[in-house]
Amino acid sequence: MKLVLLGPPGAGKGTQSVVLSKQYKIPHISTGDILREAVKAGLPLGIKAKSFMDKGELVPDEVVTGIVVERLKKPDVQKGYILDGFPRTLKQAEDLDKALAGMSSGIDMAVYFETSVKTAIERLCGRRVCKSCGFNYHVKNIPPKKEGVCDKCGGVLFQRPDDNEKTVMNRLKVYEDQTKPLIAYYTKKGLLKKVSGDLGVNELFKVLSNTFSDAKIA
Ligand code: AP5
Ligand code: MG
């Protein structure tokens, strides 16, 4: 099952990817996570990406596409994968298609998490992430048992530096301008499936599972 998850920041792409990856035993490939790891490790990629990420701007296409294409050459993607947060521009989508065609492959479905701006803002401003294992919480929707502490590993929870109101507003604008055209791109290819990103985590997971089995890709 080769999936692209599309939708605004805060739509729940990362949250669903974690569950879907476990359920279908396919890797979750998040360009946001890869870039944040590179920033944390002080790698040249991270140094290059940080200034864009802090402002809520997109990291240049050639940088991000190169990372994904290399990742898709690894053996663990044979059964499928979930692309979370990539592609995010028409150029990325076209280059992804070209690279996959070169591997005699292609994606099976692009799932669009249609999400209201109100939901997105509320989710992003309340998100907390574990410093050790990366698990995502939400202060109201998905709170940890003990405030500020990860249920899974006991790690400290922190707020992503780009989850402040000013950067969130810019990320939403960048999404509207640069990523939303991908909905038409995948619709034209007959690959788009729309789901509601406003649903609760478990409800949305059920909708996704049914969508995949109806399309006979799971
Ligand atoms: P990235 O990390 O991809 O961030 P994003 O697209 O802004 O998306 P988010 O991770 O914020 O949202 P999400 O949909 O994953 O929501 P989540 O599940 O966490 O990118 C960060 C930056 O990296 C970009 O700004 C850019 O600079 C760079 N970058 C990355 N990819 C790039 C690319 N391809 N090209 C160029 N640059 C790139 O959920 C959010 C919150 O809501 C959490 O608190 C969660 O607990 C809660 N929640 C989730 N689902 C639900 C639900 N159903 N109900 C209630 N609460 C929920
Ligand atoms: Mg995410």
Average model confidence (pLDDT) for the chain? 97
pLDDT at residue 42, as a whole number: 97
pLDDT at residue 46, as a whole number: 97
What φ, ψ does residue 136 adopt, rounded to 5°?
Answer: -100, 135
Statement: the pTM of the whole predicted model exceeds 0.95: yes
For range 90-116, the mean pLDDT: 97
Q: Does ligand 1 lie within 6 Å of residue 28's CB atom?
A: no
Quickly state the pLDDT bin for 18 (edges 50, 70, 90): very high
pLDDT at residue 51, as a whole number: 95
| Ligand 1 atom at minimal distance to the Cα of residue 60 | 36
- Maximum separation of any 2 CA atoms in the chain, in Å: 49
Under CATH, which number does the domain 2-116+169-215 receive? Answer: 3.40.50.300
Q: How far does the centroid of ligand 2 lie from the alpha carbon of residue 96, in Å?
A: 19
Judge whether 192 and 186 are in contact, CB under 8 Å: yes
d(CA 61, CA 129): 26
Ligand having the closest approach to the CA of 55: 1
For range 150-176, the mean pLDDT: 97
| Ligand 1 atom at minimal distance to the Cα of residue 53 | 27
Q: Does ligand 1 lie within 6 Å of residue 150's CB atom?
A: no
Q: Which two tokens stand for residue 62?
A: 């050639």
For range 21-39, the mean pLDDT: 97
For range 8-29, the mean pLDDT: 98
Angle value at C-alpha 34, between 30 and 38, nearest 5 degrees? 165
Q: Does ligand 1 lie within 6 Å of residue 2's CB atom?
A: no
Domain ranges of the chain: 2-116+169-215
Q: Which residue has the tokens 């692209």?
A: 4
pLDDT at residue 145, as a whole number: 98
For range 58-70, the mean pLDDT: 97
Q: What is the DSSP string of 30-58?
A: EHHHHHHHHHHTT-HHHHHHHHHHHHTPP
Percent of the chain exceeding pLDDT 70 equals 100
pLDDT in tens, 173-215: 999 999 999 999 999 999 999 999 999 999 999 999 999 999 9
Residues forming the active site: 13, 88, 127, 160, 171
Question: In whole angstroms, how far apart are CA 159 and each of 3, 94, 106, 143, 164?
Answer: 28, 33, 36, 13, 9
Q: Does ligand 1 lie within 6 Å of residue 88's CB atom?
A: yes
